[in-house]
Amino acid sequence: MRRLLLLFALAAPTAGAQLGSLLPVPSSVTPGTGRLVLDTAFRVAITRFSDDRLRRGVERAILRLEERTALEVARTVAAPTASVPLRVVVERAGDRVQSIDEDESYTLEVSPTGATLAAPTVVGALRGLETVLQLITSDAATHYLPAVSIRDTPRFRWRGLLVDVGRHFMPVEQVKKTLDGMAMVKLNVLHWHLSEDQGFRVESKRFPKLHQLGSDGEYYTQEQLRNVVAYARDRGIRVVPEFDMPGHSTAWFVGYPQYASRAGPISIRRAWGGADAIFDPTKEATYTFISQFIGEMVRIFPDAYWHIGGDEVEDKHWNRNPRIVRWRRARGMRTNEELQAHFNQRLMRILRAYNKHMVGWDEILHPKVPSNTVIQSWRGTNYLRDAAKRGFTGILSAPYYLDHIKPATDFYLADPIPTTTDLTPDEQRRVLGGEACMWSEFVSYETTDSRLWPRLGAVAERLWSPQSVTDVPDMYRRLDILAGRLEARGFRVQSHSARMLRKLFPSGDLAPLESLLTVAQPPHFGQSLNGKQTTQLHPLTRIVDAARPDPPARWMTERLVRQFVVNTSDPIPHDSLTVLMRRWQALVPVIRELAGATPAIGEAVPVAEALERTSTIGLEAMAFVRNGTRPDSAWLANATADLKRYEQPQGLLRVSVVPEIRKLVGLLQGVVQ
């Protein structure tokens, strides 16, 4: 019993001191004395500047405060009398179209007699309201805000999330929910990847065959697009659209094959990677078409930046078309990179006419592309550095691919400007920030929450908080709190596995499978499922889709193993790890039995077996260490070989704790008989 209690104590989020739960960590936090009690007299007044956006923001915050405290309070903005508990003091509206230089700073002073949130702009006030909500604390008697003085301003101006709705569509409600989550962690750019080989997702009135033939009926109407842009603006979030070209563009040509590099008919591409047709950069008509299309879209997307894609241009279609090859050679272009640079120069002219700055993936970095282009580095951090050295501004994405199933630590410790940087201060200013990417080959709107969150919080903090904020255990502690906050607002983070498992297993006890999925995780991006490549048409409702990246027991195990390694005679990590691993060993027979009920559960058996063996190795390794006995060389060779094998997916899933168990075995290296 004592052991189980220990485990619960380790798993429980820290209650109480909510100053320690802020995410992202503000620039400066000075604790005060006492607390501002929250009761039914709670009111918010807006003094000085006010507008509808600010009022809506305050009213949403009041509703969330009500939800959190179950206190019935007045839901509208109050008159600014002396006794109002929270005053919001704003200087001005902020940019009419939120710019990259929007002032997002705020200060928050909480004392026992009242709180003041002050900000130069409405966007700053929206950021501060999120902080107020995160500060709500309770004890047995009351809810309160702890007395504190906070000064806060973001480290980077561009803190984004790319959402790929091309490969798998995401309904408007899910996009809005994602924007709500982004606002909670102070992200400020939704990079909306709206067209792909697998789907063209916006309604075009001018070229209706784009969405009619290129989307399988899954697209946003112009009204919905405007509505999302307004919703984002209400939360201080810019929307940067991406229409990827000249590659990743097959879906455009289902309706308009005349602009493609090969003859039609062309159909929506179902396979991942590679490409079918790409844009023909040699025809004047191509640029007229693109210009007219962009001309239609700029009326929907007011942001000053426009993403042209430019990644992974499969040039076989340029090479196979003799007319394109002749055209290129006749103009003295030796390579297809030069041809793409030409295409980009033409795009740049089009965008300039619409007053847009061009953004593109790092493949577009070329001497012929003007240096006021923004380079989004995805193939490696070195592209960001090179771009800055060559005078380009840049955004970092390479380390922030959420679809690569990596632990939050990896995202957290990747800094757009590391302390070791060799960029000069001027070059550093060209680094605008970063963007997490949620590509959707293996993600549906139903699995998005669990693939984004809570890890996106780690990226958000990296981009907002001071560079010195790098405490990984504290990050995990606060990500756990964030996961709970998201869950409370209807995001499926902690509840994801249970809900998805229900699709496969509509009745019966889910506990063993849920338990497995606290430690088993999806394969890395690019690792095929059981040796099979999937396509867009593959249902995303298998056991792998019920699993979560960086599942909760992985970090718990990492932390316990760290403690054990430091002091192998400390009973707490030893006993807790023992409980965990014994529980994992016991899963195999139960999961084998459940597998009799449906083939889908059978796909979990190999990983359950690997987990059993991994646990056995871990338990035996701890016993050798603790007893001071030595494993023989056969034991060590077998353990090492098995752990090596378990680095790979077993069936559809991976055992997330293999590296931790390897650390336990590592304690025995060098003491082999």
If one asks whether residue 312 binds ligand ACM (CB under 6 A), the answer comes out as yes
What residues from 353 to 372 belong to the interface with ligand ACM (CB under 6 A)?
361
Cβ distance to ligand ACM smaller for residue 311 or 410: 311
Residue 95 or 312 with smaller CB distance to ligand ACM: 312
> Which is it for strands 143-152 and 28-38: parallel, antiparallel or unpaired?
antiparallel
In DSSP notation, 406-448 reads --HHHHHT--SS-TT----HHHHHTEEEEEEEE--TT--TTTH
Instruction: Give CA–CA dist 143/33, Å, rounded.
Output: 16
Tell me whether residue 177 or residue 191 sits nearer to ligand ACM (CB atom).
191
Task: Find the helix or strand (DSSP H, E) in which 200 lies.
Answer: strand 199-200
What amino acid is encoded at 145 in this protein?
L
Residue 517, CA distances (Å) to 123, 410, 500, 538, 603 in order: 39, 21, 11, 21, 13
State the residue number with the nearest CB to ligand ACM.
311
Judged by CB, which is closer to ligand ACM: 402, or 621? 402
Q: Is 404 in the site for ligand ACM (CB under 6 A)?
A: no
Active site residue 312: yes
Find the shortest distance in angstroms from Cβ 395 to ligand ACM: 12
Nearer to ligand ACM, 378 or 464 (CB): 378
Pick the binder of ligand ACM from 378, 383, 476, 555 (CB under 6 A). 378
Q: What angle do CA 296, 158, 89 make, to 5 degrees?
A: 100
Radius of gyration, CA atoms only, the chain: 27
> Judged by CB, which is closer to ligand ACM: 231, or 525?
525
**Close Cβ partners of 39 (under 8 Å, ≥ 6 residues apart):** 71, 142, 143
Backbone angles phi, psi at 110, to 5 degrees: -115, 125
d(CA 514, CA 163): 28
Angle, helices 658-666/552-566, rounded to nearest 10 degrees: 10
Q: Find the shortest distance in angstroms from Cβ 313 to ligand ACM.
A: 10
Contacts 24+ apart (CB under 8 A), 607-611: 607/516, 607/520, 607/649, 607/650, 607/651, 607/652, 607/653, 607/654, 607/655, 608/516, 608/520, 609/650, 610/645, 610/646, 610/650, 610/655, 611/516, 611/519, 611/520, 611/584, 611/587, 611/655
- Give 35 or 269: the residue with its C-beta nearer to ligand ACM: 269
Considering only residues 235 through 274, tell me which ones interact with ligand ACM, judged by CB under 6 A.
none
Binding mask of the shown chain, residues 319 to 358, with x at each position contacting ligand ACM by CB under 6 A: ----------------------------------------
Six token digits for residue 63: 């509703």
Asked whether the bond before 246 is cis by omega within 30 degrees of 0, the reply is yes
In the complex, least distance from residue 382 CB atom to ligand ACM, rounded to whole angstroms: 15
Cβ atoms of 458 and 479 within 8 Å: the answer is yes
Among candidate residues 109, 218, 312, 338, the one labeled active-site is 312
Beta bridge partners of 220: 202
Minimum distance from residue 51 beta carbon to ligand ACM (Å): 37
Instruction: Give me the least distance between CB of 526 and ligand ACM, in Å please.
Output: 12
Cβ 376 to ligand ACM shortest distance, Å: 8
Residue selected from 51, 216, 311, 575 as contacting ligand ACM according to rule CB under 6 A: 311
Closest distance between ligand ACM and the C-beta of residue 363, in Å?
A: 8
Instruction: Decide: is 525 part of the binding site for ligand ACM (CB under 6 A).
Output: no
Give least dist CB 397 to ligand ACM, A: 7
CB-wise, 269 or 613, nearer to ligand ACM?
A: 269
Residues of this chain that interact with ligand ACM (CB under 6 A) are 311-312, 361, 378
Q: What are the residue numbers of the active site?
A: 312
